[in-house]
């Protein structure tokens, strides 16, 4: 038996950063994502977001890639949102997502950050957050 513990903080948004995830819709979608993830043996530690994006802290399985996990979360949830007509317009997630590994020593600060998304986004847009995220973790150059 293999013992693996790899934490991933992933962030993804709605297509064109549309503000479709009202508080009620967002909760419904997050509840569904968590249930679906559990059914697929994906451990979600934290899931929260704002009107145009979600943050997820999950444990990566030993036999599943980040891309596959994200497809299972994003692809299935978009399909479900449209099938169940959770919102009155066609829903799509943006193609891209952002993911970074999280060390055990940083788990509590990442959990707090994810838990406080509404407060955080009173001061900063999703676009500003993504830009800072990419620079902070050296995914793009500073210039």
Encode pLDDT of 59-95 as tens digits.
998 889 999 999 999 999 999 999 999 999 999 999 9
* Residue 1 maps to a domain: no
> Could you tell me if residue 142 is inside a domain?
no
Find residue 50's DSSP bridge partners: 53
Q: Which pLDDT belongs to residue 143? A: 52
**CA 114 to each of CA 3, 9, 53, 55, 136: distance values in angstroms, whole numbers, following the listed order:** 26, 9, 11, 6, 17
Domain that holds residue 101: 6-136
141 lies in a domain?
Answer: no
For residues 49 and 26, the answer to whether their CB atoms sit within 8 Å is yes
Report, as ranges of residue numbers, the positions in the chain whose pLDDT lies below 50: none
> What pTM value is reported for the model?
0.89
- CATH number for the domain spanning 123: value is 3.30.70.1290
Would 45 be classed as within a structural domain?
yes
**Taking every pair of C-alpha atoms in the chain, what is the biggest distance, in angstroms?**
46
Q: In total, how many domains does the chain have?
A: 1
Left if phi > 0, otherwise alpha if psi is -120 to 50, otherwise beta: which for 44?
beta
pLDDT at res. 62:
87
């Amino acid at each position: 038996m293999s013992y693996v513990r790899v934490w991933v903080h992933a962030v993804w948004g709605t297509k064109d950063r549309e503000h479709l995830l009202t508080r009620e819709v967002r909760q419904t979608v997050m509840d569904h994502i968590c249930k679906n993830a559990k059914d697929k043996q994906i451990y979600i530690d934290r899931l929260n977001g704002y009107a145009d994006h979600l943050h997820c802290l999950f444990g990566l399985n030993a036999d599943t890639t980040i891309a596959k996990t994200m497809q299972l979360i994003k692809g299935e949830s978009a399909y479900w949102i449209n099938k169940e007509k959770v919102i009155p317009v066609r829903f799509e997630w943006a193609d891209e997502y952002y993911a970074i590994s999280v060390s055990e020593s940083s788990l509590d600060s990442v959990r707090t950050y994810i838990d406080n998304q509404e407060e955080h986004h009173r001061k900063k847009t999703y676009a500003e957050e993504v830009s800072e995220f990419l620079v902070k973790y050296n995914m793009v150059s500073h210039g």
